[in-house]
């Protein structure tokens, strides 16, 4: 039995669940390949981007976040963070690949993308830059992992530095994919590229807290002091990130409702009081931010378990942040007279196939990571 | 000689929302059947007033063939290109189906066409225009809401209409420089 | 291009496996299908796939606009308006016209003769050869003739396919007096009211009129060429359109003034206008004196019909009525009270149209620019035949039922009642040509009951209509784009001749009506067969024999006309076709028949609280019930809704978009509610052509509600026309 999940759930059950998730995802993907996007997805002419784009964003934000948090160790030299390097990088690679897989299911011709992004590049396209920078980022991460596995610290540092820059560039560019759309006032502007960097830190911290916690839950023995200290520090850092995030959210909302700026106001109200309100208040605000902040600010609950729980809840909340962000930006019709409006808004509910692919992508992430834990030597040599 | 610059001038006061343009376009351009699939449309504007004092306008529209088209800027593979005559085209083979252009277009003029496996949109019926004809929507319109022509030709009907009448474009603040002009 | 077309079409479901369980070709381009069928010998060999432009006429509605069919590689790619047809259609083609390609390439289209194997309406069919199907039709027609009389078969037909004449020829030659056409579901009261006044039903000169009043003749949605187009030719203020309709239609949106008149009270409005114009002496005295009879009787007759009185009836303020009357008279003779066509509203519709006619008459807009112009025609040689003589045949089943019954049209609702009574004689067979009586005659349950007592029903159509669905034999007709059709005069202010030539060969085993009639005639005896002993080409030659230019122009331009502008005043100096030879304000003939010689107003039935008056109406993308299943048009409006005013929706606690049950005295339908300010609070409205029973109409089968299932068949006792707005309904949550 692999140490990570010795107690609960059993590894068999864990792998069973993840395999089931992956199979669901494969069935979903086959459904798309057989029947075509239009017939199995609920995205429409008016809302062309759905939960798959949101999941892609979620996964690559996670990847970026993992890279940024791990770089605190091997790039910025904060020793406490060094031991998470390999795990963070390998999960960063996995989430990135699963993210690519998800967006590959959303876009209709991923192969054409490979060809024409090279022979017919459009340098004014944020998606082109995003793809290119994430491609570069993937190469750098892979190199970094290689050096880390080989224990080549100088190389790891150099690639880590480059990876850090690539991560920030790629990720803020992902924000720009939305932020450069003048047609969508809810997204438009410099806010999203910056916000994405911050939210990546929150994502990364949250996931790292879970990695460390579960990784050392394994032995059944008490957590070593070193890790407990790390969790405490990470918890404080997370509290800081989350508090800043809360202010980002507040300041995203206030200008959007203050003077009722056209379209931006309606989209924001859709998240505050409209169709996305439950997602927003319950998942984003309560689960994603408030409860974790309360856990993390209180020294009594800032235990390794508490930090992990805060991370788990944040991660959950962040998924809804991505979904709501992607959907809200499209809920306001580009045409006043468009049909099928409910209370003046368009509507989008993911289809079963879309959900299946999301389940598949996330299951695959966890599956691959568990496998990596099992097969690769990820523990840092104590002599370092 | 200056390039041609094609545009459509619309007198929406004449529009009776009969959807002839929409169906003509579907037939002419083999637009697949389906709710989302259309290159042009007529929007029923919101009903004005309260019963019995009511008013309503109908706004036919399509791709605006912008001089500053956001769809072309965002396309990662340059699948959207602008001809010298101003017509914005999609090169189907280059389209990766990321739908970025659909989110970028402030007019919702684009849809994903499963049959040609690419994002599709109005082309001003360039195949008809280059053969000396008129776009299908222009030709078929019962009340002749749309007038098509070259605004670089000062003697064209579109030029004359724009000279004689005040006009507006949709979402001017977007900076897209649309080339569908609505007489006011 | 071919490659692209094939690719584009390849994923479309061209021929779905229909509910008729026929072997269908599931996928494939139209070209591929043609080739495949050719190999199987199901259609003629496709040796070449031509690319050509064909002049023909639209067949989607009554207007028959000129069309150029653009045929590419043997497939009709697009239908374009024929610019030569501008005198009538203003060189346009509407949504329906453009959707015509989908009539030919419709997966739901009828492909082969079908013979019913299950119960009627069960939808179980087997494919039959033409010979077998026609033998069966012939056998049944002969049997009914023998068992009952030849009047025991009713021939119900559509009009305007250009081949309906051959169907009616069959009725006559078979020997049945019982033909049923659409007029009594449409405009017969209108024709009657105007003809009683002018001796004809004139056409308003919309293009040149400065002041137009319309009562519900929703021209921006119920297209009539060129009126629909000309109505929008206002020159920035000169043209005035006053529109009365309980619904805010698209015409209302284009009108200068819209009045949501209380349904059934248009006559009060008109009489009050006459009152104002007469009492204020704003009528055309010269004209009234020279051209009309009975004005002296009109003056006392309208004395009590004041605007103040009318305002209480029709809920239009008296001041507005007065102002409109004055403006109308001031604008004369360039002013028309536009009578429209459409279904009659109320059982007193003929008298209401009479009032309209009288109002037009007294301002002297007769046969002058911008006024009411008698229709003109173009001389053509008549298609002639010598019908066999049978000496034992009774008169029409519905004879003597109403004051003025058209011998060729009959009165649908009265006819149906008499069939059900079996009096004065039994009618046990139905031959139906493209008429969809199940979906269009009010009180659907009764129509089905009538059909249930028939021994035999045969329907000829291009698609599995509800009527075809309840038939015993269904014969596939070639669509209008696959036929050579005889020329037909489209009368009007500027008459034209239109015709059809095939754009493509008829697909599958579909055949033109003439061929079907000829083959059937052979099975009904040599006397009948002899009358069909000609080819279509011969019939056309014969029709054009008086003027060869007609055929030449049709071939080279797709249209023939003698004048491209209206000719005014041709009726002056000749007696009109009325008893007096003049315009009859007072109708002597009506007096003789015991009818009101001047229109007498009676209030419509009261709508009690909790009930709503059901209104019918049109949309520009549908022709009655025939086009709702068309894939292109279905995209525009996939289902119908019940319009209800927000005030009433709130009272009933019903939300927009929810399903409701609508119940009348004769039926109940379920459809979605549309809460809208576009309708009077005391009325509801639903579009026609939904709630279809036939599974052969895959897009609209079971979708929405069928108005014919709800409407009661109150009938105008002067014209025999069914009144469409007499039905009250209740609404319940479904």
* Whole-complex ipTM: 0.96
Measured between alpha carbons, how far is B112 from B89 in angstroms, rounded to an integer?
A: 14
Give the whole-number percent of chain C exceeding pLDDT 90: 89
Q: Are C461 and C516 in contact (CB under 8 A)?
A: no
- For residue A241, is it within any domain? yes
Measured between alpha carbons, how far is B151 from B154 in angstroms, rounded to an integer?
A: 7
| B:152-181 residues touching chain A, CB 8 A cutoff | 174-175
Radius of gyration of chain A measured on its C-alpha atoms = 21
Measured between alpha carbons, how far is A67 from A96 in angstroms, rounded to an integer?
A: 11
Quickly list DSSP for C232-275. T---SSS-EEEEE-SB--HHHHHSSEEE-PPTT-HHHHHHHHHH
Class of domain C612-733: mainly beta
pLDDT over 50 (residue C23): no
Instruction: Please report how the helices C349-362 and C266-279 are oriented relative to each other, as an axis angle in degrees rounded to 10.
Output: 30
- Looking at residue C14, its pLDDT comes to 40
Q: What is the mean pLDDT of chain C?
A: 92
Asked if A183 and B174 come within 8 Å (Cβ–Cβ), the reply is yes
Measured between alpha carbons, how far is C538 from A171 in angstroms, rounded to an integer?
A: 78
For residue C499, which of C460, C541, C471, C457 has the smallest C-alpha distance? C541
Q: From residue C155, how far is each of C170, C180, C435 by CA, in Å?
A: 9, 6, 10
Q: Residue A272 carries which DSSP code?
A: H
* Nearest-CB residue to C81 (from B23, B32, B140): B140
Measured between alpha carbons, how far is C486 from C554 in angstroms, rounded to an integer?
A: 11
Mean per-residue pLDDT for B16-37?
Answer: 95
Mean per-residue pLDDT for C33-45?
Answer: 50
Burial class (CB in 10 A: 0-12, 13-18, 19+), A281: middle
Measured between alpha carbons, how far is C569 from C372 in angstroms, rounded to an integer?
A: 10
Joined tokens for residue A15: 């792998």
Measured between its terminal Cα atoms, the distance across chain B in Å is 31
Q: Give pLDDT tens digits for C253-297.
A: 999 999 999 999 999 999 999 999 999 999 999 999 999 999 999
pLDDT over 80 (residue C191): yes
- Looking at residue B100, its pLDDT comes to 97
Measured between alpha carbons, how far is C482 from A286 in angstroms, rounded to an integer?
A: 67
Measured between alpha carbons, how far is C429 from C155 in angstroms, rounded to an integer?
A: 9
* Nearest-CB residue to B76 (from A128, A333, A335): A128
CATH architecture type of domain C114-186+379-557: 3-Layer(aba) Sandwich (3.40)
Q: Are C341 and C335 in contact (CB under 8 A)?
A: no
Question: Which residues have CB under 8 Å from B111's CB, separation 6+?
Answer: A45, B36, B37, B38, B39, B102, B119, B120, B121
Measured between alpha carbons, how far is A166 from A64 in angstroms, rounded to an integer?
A: 9
C224 band by pLDDT with thresholds 50, 70 and 90: very high
Measured between its terminal Cα atoms, the distance across chain A in Å is 28
Asked if B76 and A127 come within 8 Å (Cβ–Cβ), the reply is yes
Q: Are A87 and A380 in contact (CB under 8 A)?
A: no
- Confirm or reject contact between C319 and chain B (CB < 8 A): no
Q: Which chains touch A (3 or more CB pairs under 8 A)?
A: B
Structural domains counted in chain A? 1
- Looking at residue A21, its pLDDT comes to 96
Mean per-residue pLDDT for C187-200?
Answer: 95
pLDDT over 70 (residue C16): no
B132 Cα to chain A: minimum distance (Å):
32
**Interface contacts (B, C; CB < 8 Å):** 135
Q: Residue C625 carries which DSSP code?
A: T
Q: Are C654 and C468 in contact (CB under 8 A)?
A: no
Mean per-residue pLDDT for C438-450?
Answer: 97
- Contact list in C for residue B27 (CB cut-off 8 A) is 77-79, 98-99, 101-102, 632
For residue B54, which of A338, C216, C324, C248 has the smallest C-alpha distance? C248
Q: Residue A280 carries which DSSP code?
A: I
- Confirm or reject contact between A335 and chain B (CB < 8 A): yes
pLDDT over 50 (residue C187): yes
| B:59-98 residues touching chain C, CB 8 A cutoff | none
- Looking at residue C55, its pLDDT comes to 97
Measured between alpha carbons, how far is A323 from C19 in angstroms, rounded to an integer?
A: 42
Q: Give pLDDT tens digits for C307-317.
A: 999 999 999 99
CATH 3.40.228.10 region(s) of chain C? 203-373
Measured between alpha carbons, how far is A127 from B99 in angstroms, rounded to an integer?
A: 11
Question: Which residues have CB under 8 Å from A90's CB, separation 6+?
Answer: A145, A369, A372, A376, A378
Question: Which residues have CB under 8 Å from C194's CB, separation 6+?
Answer: C200, C201, C202, C339, C353, C354, C356, C357
Quickly list DSSP for C556-610. HHS-B-S-SS----TTTTS--SSSSSSEESS-HHHHHTTS-SS----PPPP--TT
* Nearest-CB residue to B117 (from A44, A109, A334): A109
Q: Are C686 and C672 in contact (CB under 8 A)?
A: no
- Contact list in C for residue B16 (CB cut-off 8 A) is 220-221, 228, 232, 250-251, 253-254, 620
Whether the ω angle into residue B52 lies within 30 degrees of 0, i.e. cis, is yes
- For residue A5, is it within any domain? no
pLDDT over 80 (residue C2): no
Tell me the domain boundaries of chain B. 6-69+124-183
Q: Give pLDDT tens digits for C604-649.
A: 999 999 999 999 999 999 998 899 999 999 999 999 999 999 999 9
Q: Are A59 and A170 in contact (CB under 8 A)?
A: no
- Confirm or reject contact between B15 and chain A (CB < 8 A): no
Beta-strand runs (E) in chain B? 6-10, 40-44, 48-50, 53-55, 58-62, 80-82, 88-90, 111-113, 118-120, 146-150, 167-168, 180-183
Identify any residues that bridge with C155 across adjacent strands, giving them in sequence order: C179, C431
C22 band by pLDDT with thresholds 50, 70 and 90: very low
Distance of CA C350 to the CA centre of its chain: 18
Q: Which residue range is the domain that position A290 belongs to? A: 36-375
pLDDT over 90 (residue C524): yes
**CATH number corresponding to B6-69+124-183:** 3.30.70.20
- Looking at residue A218, its pLDDT comes to 61
Question: Which residues have CB under 8 Å from C211's CB, separation 6+?
Answer: C239, C240, C242, C327, C328, C331, C334, C335, C336
- Looking at residue A220, its pLDDT comes to 66
Please identify every stretch of chain A with a pLDDT value under 70, giving residue numbers as ranges. Answer: 1-10, 218-221, 339, 380-384
Q: Considering only A147-156, C23-32, C192-201, C715-724, which range has the smallest mean pLDDT?
A: C23-32
- Looking at residue A339, its pLDDT comes to 66
Asked if B36 and A45 come within 8 Å (Cβ–Cβ), the reply is yes
- Looking at residue A292, its pLDDT comes to 97
**Whose structure tokens read 């990470």?**
A234
Chain B interface disruption, residue of C6, C232, C234, most B CBs within 10 A: C232
Joined tokens for residue A308: 């992990």
Q: How many Cα neighbours within 13 Å face the side chain of C185? A: 26
Q: Are C14 and C29 in contact (CB under 8 A)?
A: yes
CA dihedral (C435, C437, C442, C443) in degrees, to 10, reads -170
Q: Are A368 and B73 in contact (CB under 8 A)?
A: no
Q: Return left, alpha or beta for A123; rule: phi > 0 is left, psi -120 to 50 is alpha, else beta.
A: alpha
Whether the ω angle into residue A9 lies within 30 degrees of 0, i.e. cis, is yes
Measured between alpha carbons, how far is C557 from C55 in angstroms, rounded to an integer?
A: 7
Q: Residue A283 carries which DSSP code?
A: I
Q: Residue A107 carries which DSSP code?
A: S
**Whose structure tokens read 């203050």?**
A258
Measured between alpha carbons, how far is A196 from A190 in angstroms, rounded to an integer?
A: 10
User: Under CATH, what is the fold of the domain C203-373?
Assistant: Dimethylsulfoxide Reductase; domain 2 (3.40.228)
Greatest C-alpha distance within chain C? 78
- Looking at residue C237, its pLDDT comes to 54
Question: Which residues have CB under 8 Å from A77's CB, separation 6+?
Answer: none
CATH 2.40.40.20 region(s) of chain C? 612-733
C157 band by pLDDT with thresholds 50, 70 and 90: very high
Mean per-residue pLDDT for C185-213?
Answer: 95
**Whose structure tokens read 């996931």?**
A207
Q: Give pLDDT tens digits for C62-117.
A: 999 999 999 999 999 999 999 999 999 999 999 999 999 999 999 999 999 999 99
CATH number at residue A329: 1.20.1630.10
Mean per-residue pLDDT for C475-498?
Answer: 96
Identify any residues that bridge with C78 across adjacent strands, giving them in sequence order: C70
Asked if B77 and A46 come within 8 Å (Cβ–Cβ), the reply is no
Mean per-residue pLDDT for B95-106?
Answer: 96
For residue A181, which of A69, A328, A6 has the smallest C-alpha distance? A328
Q: Are A331 and A187 in contact (CB under 8 A)?
A: no
Chain B interface disruption, residue of A107, A183, A330, most B CBs within 10 A: A183
Is the pTM above the cut of 0.90? Answer: yes
């Amino acid at each position: 039995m692999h140490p990570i999940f010795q107690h609960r759930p059993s590894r068999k059950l864990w792998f069973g669940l993840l395999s089931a998730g992956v199979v669901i995802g494969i069935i979903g993907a086959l459904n798309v390949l057989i029947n075509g996007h239009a017939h199995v997805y609920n995205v429409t002419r008016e809302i062309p981007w759905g939960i798959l784009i949101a999941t892609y964003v979620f996964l690559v934000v996670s990847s970026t976040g993992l890279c940024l948090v791990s770089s605190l160790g091997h790039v910025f030299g904060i020793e406490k963070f060094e031991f998470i390097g390999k795990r963070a990088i390998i999960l960063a690679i996995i989430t990135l690949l699963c993210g690519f897989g998800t967006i590959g299911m959303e876009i209709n011709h991923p192969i054409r993308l490979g060809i024409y992004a090279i022979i017919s590049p459009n340098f004014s396209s944020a998606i082109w830059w995003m793809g290119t920078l994430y491609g570069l980022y993937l190469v750098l991460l892979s190199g970094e992992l290689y050096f880390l596995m080989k224990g080549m610290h100088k190389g790891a540092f150099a690639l880590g530095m480059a990876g850090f820059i690539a991560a920030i560039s790629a990720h803020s560019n992902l924000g720009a994919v939305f932020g450069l759309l003048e047609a969508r006032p809810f997204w438009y502007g410099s806010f999203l590229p910056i916000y994405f960097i911050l939210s990546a830190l929150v994502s990364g911290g949250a996931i790292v807290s879970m990695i460390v916690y579960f990784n050392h839950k394994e032995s059944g023995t008490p957590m070593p002091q070193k890790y407990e200290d790390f969790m405490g520090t990470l918890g404080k850092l997370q509290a800081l990130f989350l508090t800043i995030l809360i202010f980002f959210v507040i300041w995203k909302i206030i200008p959007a409702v203050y003077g009722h700026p056209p379209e931006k106001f309606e989209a924001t109200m859709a998240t505050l009081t409209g169709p996305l309100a439950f997602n927003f208040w319950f998942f984003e605000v309560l689960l994603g931010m408030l409860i974790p902040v309360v856990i993390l600010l209180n020294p009594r609950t800032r235990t390794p378990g508490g930090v992990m729980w805060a991370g788990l809840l944040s991660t959950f909340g962040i998924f809804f942040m991505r979904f709501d962000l992607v959907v809200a930006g499209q809920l306001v019709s580009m045409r006043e007279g468009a049909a099928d409006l409910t209370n003046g808004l368009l509507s989008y509910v993911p289809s079963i196939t879309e959900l299946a692919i999301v389940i598949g992508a996330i299951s695959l992430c966890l599956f691959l990571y568990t496998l990596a834990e099992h097969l690769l030597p990820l523990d840092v040599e104590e002599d370092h | 000689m200056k390039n041609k610059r094609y545009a459509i001038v619309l007198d929406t006061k004449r529009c009776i929302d009969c959807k002839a343009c929409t169906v003509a376009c579907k037939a002419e351009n083999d637009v697949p059947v389906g709710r989302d699939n259309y290159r042009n449309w007529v929007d029923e504007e919101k009903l004005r007033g309260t019963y019995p004092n009511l008013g309503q306008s109908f706004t036919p529209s399509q791709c605006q063939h912008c001089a500053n088209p956001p769809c072309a800027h965002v396309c990662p593979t340059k699948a959207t290109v602008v001809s010298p005559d101003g017509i914005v085209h999609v090169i189907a083979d280059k389209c990766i189906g990321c739908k970025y252009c659909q989110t970028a277009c402030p007019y919702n003029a684009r849809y994903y066409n499963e049959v040609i496996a690419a994002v599709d949109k109005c082309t001003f019926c360039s195949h008809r225009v280059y053969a000396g004809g008129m776009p299908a929507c222009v030709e078929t319109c019962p009340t002749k809401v749309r007038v098509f022509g070259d605004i670089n030709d000062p003697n064209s009907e579109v030029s004359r209409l724009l000279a004689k009448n005040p006009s507006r474009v949709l979402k001017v603040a977007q900076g897209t420089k649309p080339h569908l002009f609505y007489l006011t | 291009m071919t490659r692209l077309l094939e690719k584009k079409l390849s994923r479309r479901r061209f021929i779905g496996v229909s509910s008729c369980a026929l072997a269908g070709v599931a996928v494939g381009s139209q070209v591929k299908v043609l080739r495949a069928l050719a190999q199987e010998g199901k259609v003629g060999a496709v040796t070449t796939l031509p690319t050509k432009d064909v002049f023909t006429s639209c067949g989607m509605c009554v207007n028959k606009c000129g069309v150029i069919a653009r045929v590419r590689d043997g497939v009709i790619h697009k239908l374009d308006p024929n610019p030569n047809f501008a005198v009538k259609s203003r060189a346009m083609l509407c949504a329906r016209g453009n959707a015509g390609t989908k009539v030919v390439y419709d997966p739901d289209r009828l492909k082969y003769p079908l013979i019913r194997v299950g119960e009627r309406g069960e939808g179980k069919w087997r494919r039959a050869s033409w010979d077998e199907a026609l033998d069966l039709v012939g056998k049944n027609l002969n049997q009914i003739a023998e068992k009952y009389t030849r009047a025991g078969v009713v021939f119900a037909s559509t009009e305007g396919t250009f081949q309906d004449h051959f169907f009616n020829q069959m009725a006559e030659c078979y020997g049945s007096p019982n033909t049923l056409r659409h007029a009594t579901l449409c405009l017969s009261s209108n024709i009657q009211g105007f003809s009683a006044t002018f001796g004809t039903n004139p056409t308003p000169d919309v293009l040149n009129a400065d002041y137009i009043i319309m009562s519900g003749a929703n021209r921006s949605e119920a297209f009539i060429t060129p009126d629909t187009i000309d109505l929008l030719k206002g020159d920035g203020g000169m043209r005035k359109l006053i529109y009365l309709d309980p619904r805010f239609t698209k015409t209302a949106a284009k009108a200068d003034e819209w009045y949501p008149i209380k349904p059934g009270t248009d006559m009060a409005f008109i009489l009050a206008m006459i009152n104002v114009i007469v009492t204020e002496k704003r009528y055309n005295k010269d004209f009234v004196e020279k051209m009309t009879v009975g004005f002296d009787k009109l003056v006392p007759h309208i004395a009590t019909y004041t605007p103040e009185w009318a305002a209480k009836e029709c809920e239009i303020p008296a001041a507005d009525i007065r102002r409109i009357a004055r403006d109308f008279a001031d604008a004369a003779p360039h002013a028309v009270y536009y009578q429209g066509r459409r279904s009659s509203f109320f059982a007193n519709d003929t008298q209401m149209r009479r009032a309209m006619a009288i109002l037009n008459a007294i301002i002297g807009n007769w046969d002058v620019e911008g006024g009411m112009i008698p229709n003109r025609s173009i001389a053509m040689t008549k298609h002639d035949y010598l019908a066999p003589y049978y000496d034992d045949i009774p008169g029409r089943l519905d004879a003597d039922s109403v004051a003025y019954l058209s011998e060729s049209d009959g009165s649908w609702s009265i006819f149906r009642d008499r069939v059900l009574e079996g009096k004065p004689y039994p009618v046990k067979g139905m031959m139906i040509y493209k008429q969809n009586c199940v979906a269009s005659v009010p009180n659907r349950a009764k129509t089905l009951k009538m059909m249930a007592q028939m021994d035999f029903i045969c329907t000829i159509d291009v698609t599995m209509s509800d009527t075809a669905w309840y038939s015993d034999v269904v014969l596939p007709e070639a669509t209008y784009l696959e036929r050579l059709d005889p020329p037909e005069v489209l009368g009007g202010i500027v008459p034209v001749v239109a015709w059809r030539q095939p754009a493509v060969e008829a697909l599958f085993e579909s055949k033109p009506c003439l061929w079907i009639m000829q083959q059937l005639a052979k099975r009904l005896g040599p006397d009948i067969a002899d009358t069909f002993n000609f080819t279509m080409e011969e019939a056309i030659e014969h029709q054009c024999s008086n003027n060869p230019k007609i055929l030449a122009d049709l071939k080279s331009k797709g249209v023939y006309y003698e004048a491209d502008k209206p000719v005014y005043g041709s009726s002056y100096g000749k007696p009109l076709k009325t008893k007096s030879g003049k315009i009859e304000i007072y109708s002597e003939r009506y007096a003789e028949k015991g009818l009101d010689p001047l229109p007498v107003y009676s209030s419509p039935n009261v709508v009690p609280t909790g009930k709503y008056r059901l209104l019918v109406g049109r949309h520009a993308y549908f022709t009655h019930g025939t086009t709702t299943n068309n894939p292109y048009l279905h995209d525009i409006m996939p289902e119908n809704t019940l319009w209800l005013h927000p005030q009433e929706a709130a009272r009933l606690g019903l939300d927009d978009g929810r399903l409701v049950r609508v119940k009348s005295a004769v039926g109940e339908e379920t459809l979605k509610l549309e809460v809208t300010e576009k309708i009077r609070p005391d009325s509801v409205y639903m579009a026609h052509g939904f709630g279809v029973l036939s599974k052969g109409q895959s897009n609209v089968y079971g979708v929405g509600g069928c108005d014919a299932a709800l409407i009661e068949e109150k009938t105008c006792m002067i014209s025999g026309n069914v009144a469409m707005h007499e039905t009250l309904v209740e609404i319940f949550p479904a």
